[in-house]
Structure 1
Amino acid sequence: MNKLFDLERFISKYVTQREESLFKNDLDRFDDVLRSRIDSKKALVIGGAGTIGSSFIKALLKFNLKSIYVVDTNENGLTELVRDLRSRNDLNVPDELITYPMNFSDPVFEKMFLASGTFDIVANFAAHKHVRSEKDHYSIEAMIQNNVLKAKGLLDLLIERPPSHFFCVSTDKAANPVNVMGASKKLMEDLILAYSDNLNITTARFANVAFSNGSLPFGFMERIAKRQPFSSPLNIKRYFVSPEESGQICLLACILGESGQIFFPKLDYEKHMKTFSSIAEDLLKELGFEVYRCASEAEAKLEASKLSSTSDHYPVYFFESNTSGEKSFEEFYTEDEKLDMDSFSGLGVILETPTKSKKELMEIFHKLDNAFQSKLTDKAAIVDILRAYLPNFDHIEKGRNLDQGM
């Protein structure tokens, strides 16, 4: 592989097909407001070692923060984040950059939070984000604990020391969810909206972040390094934003949004939807390979075993998706949500969405907790609880998950 391969240029040319950020006009227009609300302020970023969290940090550091604290369970990720931030010449890294490898739901986090004074800006990116993480009731329990129940504990803690701005990331899969991950994020949205009278809190539904950690395109880069075949569904279309754009979405929503608002990128179905297989083909061509389509995983693995430093073709296996929870397309809002499409150039805002009361939320949390405690609970039982709470939750169950494929 070319040592100077420019991933940012590739994403701009082939994935987002935008030469400049979708949010450039908004960033320019609101620059003075952003500076007045960010400069000399103190920030806390939870889950900051991931792609979106680290991109949010870089967006913040275009301004002049007084200090920034970063929390993540990924110790290696935090190490690389610091190296990355301190190796760039386009960021204003404050002297007080402190990273903590810890879980935001652990008692030590609460100690640190309360001892550190009041944070002006708090953003939470700690979440399960993969549909593949809902294999059975154990993995679903971990997902709901992280995305919803532990998030409630964080909200309760923030009320003791309320920041000026609090942001919690959501997903486009929360709109008419077909998988437990999306349903858990819709629950999270309802939860933060229930707290929106007590905290200045916003969220954003995302498109796929191109080449984000753990994503299928990121996996393509890993497969190249390991001389392994590419594998991708043919029939799954997704919206994409660049990593830089993902941080900018969060920045604009966090700093400029009004409490209870849900932001989403303005993307066009006809112009901006891409298949993973087309990205795979463009990547291989950009790297100088011819695409060699295989009829099965076995054939693809056999062809990959023959790869050498002089190979001019690369094996791929493209297939029709047949796993649980996979939606063939994505959407950012539903027909019963009230929208503002005028306030921002690159962002739409959901002003009102059907929500549940705190009492109803506590009832479903209680039902979920009882289910998690029962030895008789299975995946279907948890899906039924979620479906009773979310009438538009149309879970797609095919009895096969993404971990069962290459």
Structure 2
Amino acid sequence: MEQLLHYIWKHRILPLHELRTTDGRLVEIIDPGLHNHHSGPDFFNAKIRLDGTLWVGNVEIHERSADWFLHGHDQDPAYNNVVLHIASTIDMDVTTADGSRPPQMELQVPPHVMQNYQRLLADDRYPPCRDTVMQLPSLAVHSWMSALGAERLSSKCDAIDQRVKAAGGSWEQAFFATIARGFGFGVNSEAFELWASGLPFMQVAHHRDDPFQVEALFLGYAGLLDDDAMNDKQRALALADPYFVRLQREWKYLAHKFHLVSMTRHTWRFMRLRPQNFPYIRLSQLATLYCSRRADLSNIVACTTLDDVRKALQTEAGDYWRTHYTFGKESAESAKRLSSSSIDVIIINAVVSMLHAYGRHRQDERLIARAAEFLEALPPEDNTHIRLWRECGISADNAADTQSLIQLHNRYCERKDCLRCRFGYYSMKRI
């Protein structure tokens, strides 16, 4: 209830009757103030006229006025400048640390707001606000989509900044970790980032001219050459495979040389994956790409067109994997190349965000603009939620649009955070 009181105060979705304090003074809201999500009063610098007198200060909101004392506000000087205390139930007077008595106002959530909110939370359809969204003007939709896209890109850039910090300021190493995360394609993204963040980047660089040693390092550090972690069938097939034995021997030598301890094999997910997405294949493709040096940050930054980036990211697994998806078990021969659609996904999730973050770091507007151009030139992604939004009249013409819809789903719909969503706002105020 308190959260809804915050909401209707912030957005001025208020009852139609006059608002008065408990002592009868007429309340006119000039500015509800700035919503505070940290410690201290709920709204800063509100402007309120009480019986014609303008007051500027803070506003505190509770479900019951007794909560003022329950939360210790009567002992906290931060609440001395509260000019209005709001509660749905006024059951006692309140006092501040300096002894003053802030005026209080009883405020109820309008019935239609409560009904709309409960409907949004209870509706099993996706999205639950579809009836409202289908009636919104295009300007309102595009405005929120634009904000969502910027929000998603900003969060990705923040993640890159954290990787740079963890890498001791190395943007090259942070870009490798970002690319590696992209090779997880959702299912193994966290595992790939964990793997890349712990991989001894400088030591691996010494062996960059030997793809076999790099593949041994990549697979070995991932824990995928640890036969003790395999089941009996996997172990028997692997130990009978000469290529596995060579890789394992090389990994043990390099692990001893660099004092490395591998990840656990169980970090990686294989269930319900198509064979071309197995970590063996993706790590081998990444090893080939790494040895080619085409995906170095300096080379990607030098790419001025989308086609240049696509060519730079072309890669395939090593020769052994042409006839294998796993150790010791042959398959029909095929080149395990990174598909064009997979390359586009990596550009969306790694290259675009890196160009923007690196451009921001270097104060290079050209890189920031190029990131936006690439995102708008890439084809739209496709998944169930994007198709359902299309049924609501929101079509995605490019990757920038689908990134906005992915942000909408992950950050708002999935969490049922309708109170922070603009579509939720339009749904809540409907009568």
Q: Under TM normalisation by the shorter chain, which class is it?
A: under 0.3
TM-score by length of 2: 0.24
Task: Give TM-score, length-normalised by structure 1.
Answer: 0.25
Q: Which has the higher strand share?
A: 1
Answer 1 or 2: higher relative contact order, Cα 8 Å, separation at least 6.
Answer: 1
Is the helix fraction higher in 1 or 2?
2
| Structure with bigger gyration radius | 2
